[in-house]
Amino acid sequence: MGRGGRLPGLEADWQPEPPPKEASRPRPPGQAAALRLRRQTAWAWAPPWRGGARGVKRARRWRRRRGGCCAGYWGRCRRRRRRGLSAPRAWARSGLVMATEQRPFHLVVFGASGFTGQFVTEEVAREQVDPERSSRLPWAVAGRSREKLQRVLEKAALKLGRPTLSSEVGIIICDIANPASLDEMAKQATVVLNCVGPFLELMQLKYHEKAADKGVYIIGSSGFDSIPADLGVIYTRNKMNGTLTAVESFLTIHSGPEGLSIHDGTWKSAIYGFGDQSNLRKLRNASNLKPVPLIGPKLKRRWPISYCRELKGYSIPFMGSDVSVVKRTQRYLYENLEESPVQYAAYVTVGGITSVIKLMFAGLFFLFFVRFGIGRQLLIKFPWFFSFGYFSKQGPTQKQIDAASFTLTFFGQGYSQGLGTDKNKPNIKICTQVKGPEAGYVATPIAMVQAAMTLLNDASDLPKAGGVFTPGAAFSKTKLIDRLNKHGIEFSVISSSEV
């Protein structure tokens, strides 16, 4: 992900205060520290918002000291009152770091002992023995506890039937409270898969020019949020024989007989994201970006609860980062590659009327409590109660993970070649799908690891200059979709017709 670039000192003017002894989560992982390396390194941040490596109680103590939140909301000039929120964000965290010079390890999983990190570790172990590879990847796991990292490797070895795995993988001890340890970790890695902290829209405004000057690539949302959606829109555009102007996507989550369960890391991200909506709006307004041109008729937004005839079920707007990410991708493709921008809206299906009623009550509880500091604390402390059993501190069981899957369906419209878009109605419709295994702890590691392999193998197909990119902007010309197809996240065309 970085050709001839260096990691700039993005926050070289800031030195972290030593954390209090009781606070073990002082700050998100090292964009601040690791980007000081000033080496040929690049970052691709994907969403590990499904479980961090540290507890929320300790995080709150640090938040009160530093003015940030447990997911790592940071910003020198954005401190808030106790229980306040910090830098605006778009709900996506986790990632990769790549250097072009020779390093001891091709891949390092940072935060491997966290809930998401252990699944990413297992996926890297699978990739290491891929029969298509001529040699094994040297890789390592990184975190602050050697014992926990060793247990993660032992668990992966048992699950994958590889008793020698622990001896094949390096262990690096580092802590986000110790920037020097992050430096040492990054020096040993070509690509770091970061499973610890969030990096958001603020990063694009703050660091794009610095990253471009250094030839550094910073890529956010490189997991389930939002690689399937972002690359799904690009795939739909590429498969249409004409000009794609608008796309609606519908996410359907399938569960087995034991039901669905999600780790409360996702729940926390939603809590802080909703609580910080006003700041995110201010950030977007302050950017003063010119709107991209509207091609074809404006895409009409559906009601908060609407019925999708094609999927025969009710749907609600998808509240994750997909819409924000896709819009940023379309802006980049229009401004830099002169491609026609695509309008986009995202929804999630919720089944029948019973599910709709249940969801309405849960939504009302959530929207009321998330407005207040004490309400957010209650939501965090009792996720199972307030989410009607969907979120828990334990997360899903292995049986629940194995039985779950997702389908992301895209309905697009546009114009055939040669037909003007000014006065005519769209005359082409297309339906595509992205299907895959369980979204949070299977599809996300697959997306992260294959994005890392793309960085290692398709560097010449990345944008020519560095900067802060979305997955679609960074990977639109690479073979990432082909890699995902081979690893269980399948892109396909369902139908295409001319009206």
pLDDT at 250 over 90: yes
User: What's the mean pLDDT in 253-265?
Assistant: 86
Strand, coil or helix: what is 347?
strand
Q: pLDDT higher for 52 or 429?
A: 429
pLDDT-derived band of residue 281, with 50, 70 and 90 as boundaries? low
Distance CA 445, CA 119 (A): 6
**254 has pLDDT over 50:** yes
Least confident of 73-82, 104-113, 292-301, 437-446: 73-82
ω into 315 cis (within 30 of 0): no
* Structural contact between residues 472 and 233, judged by C-beta atoms closer than 8 angstroms: yes
Work out the pLDDT band at 184, boundaries 50, 70, 90.
very high
Q: What is the pLDDT of residue 461?
A: 94
With 0-12 / 13-18 / 19 or more C-beta atoms within 10 angstroms meaning exposed / middle / buried, residue 398 is exposed
Please say if the pLDDT value at position 302 is more than 50.
Answer: yes
Distance CA 153, CA 167 (A): 9
Q: Which residues contact 227 (CB under 8 A, 6 or more apart)?
A: 46, 221, 447, 451, 471, 480, 484
CA–CA distance from 489 to each of 302, 387, 481 (Å)?
Answer: 28, 28, 9
For residue 361, what are its two tokens?
């009550």
Q: What is the pLDDT of residues 125-161, one digit of tens each?
A: 999 877 676 678 899 999 999 999 999 999 999 999 9
Give the pLDDT mean for 43-72.
Answer: 41
Residue 49 has pLDDT above 50, yes or no: no
Residue/partner pairs of 287-294 with CB below 8 Å, 24 or more apart? 287/205, 289/331, 292/330, 292/331, 292/334, 292/335, 292/341, 293/334, 293/341, 294/343
3-state secondary structure of 223: strand
The amino acid that residue 18 corresponds to is P
pLDDT in tens, 357-371: 888 888 888 888 888
- Residues 441 and 123 sit within 8 Å (Cβ to Cβ): no
Nearest-5° Cα angle at 217, 211 to 222: 130
Residues 6+ apart with CB under 8 A from 141: 108, 109, 112, 113, 117, 121, 149, 152, 153, 169, 170, 171, 172
d(CA 34, CA 10): 9
Among 45-59, 208-222, 266-280, 388-402, whose mean pLDDT is lowest? 45-59
- What are the structural domain ranges in the chain? 31-219, 227-440+488-498
* Residue 286 banded pLDDT, cuts 50, 70, 90: low
Question: Looking at residue 359, what is its pLDDT?
Answer: 81
Q: Is the model more confident about 315 or about 360?
A: 315
Place of tokens 């094994």: 136
pLDDT band at 439 (very low <50, low <70, confident <90, very high): very high
Distance of CA 267 to the CA centre of its chain: 15
Q: Which residues pair with 415 in a beta bridge?
A: 243
Q: Round the average pLDDT of the chain to a whole number and report it.
A: 79
284 vs 42: which has the higher pLDDT: 284
- Residue 67, CA atoms < 13 Å, CB-side half-sphere: 12
DSSP letter for 404, please: -
CB atoms within 10 A of CB 161: 7
Confidence label for 210 from pLDDT (cuts 50, 70 and 90): confident
Indicate the pTM of the whole model: 0.78
Q: How many CB atoms lie within 10 A of CB 278?
A: 10
**Residues 351, 313: Cα–Cα separation, whole Å:** 5
> 19 pLDDT exceeds 80?
no
Mean pLDDT over residues 438-465, rounded?
92
CA angle, 206 then 284 then 95, to 5° = 50
Of 346, 331, 340, 345, the closest CA to residue 237 belongs to: 340
pLDDT for the residue 203: 64
Average pLDDT on 37-58 reads 41
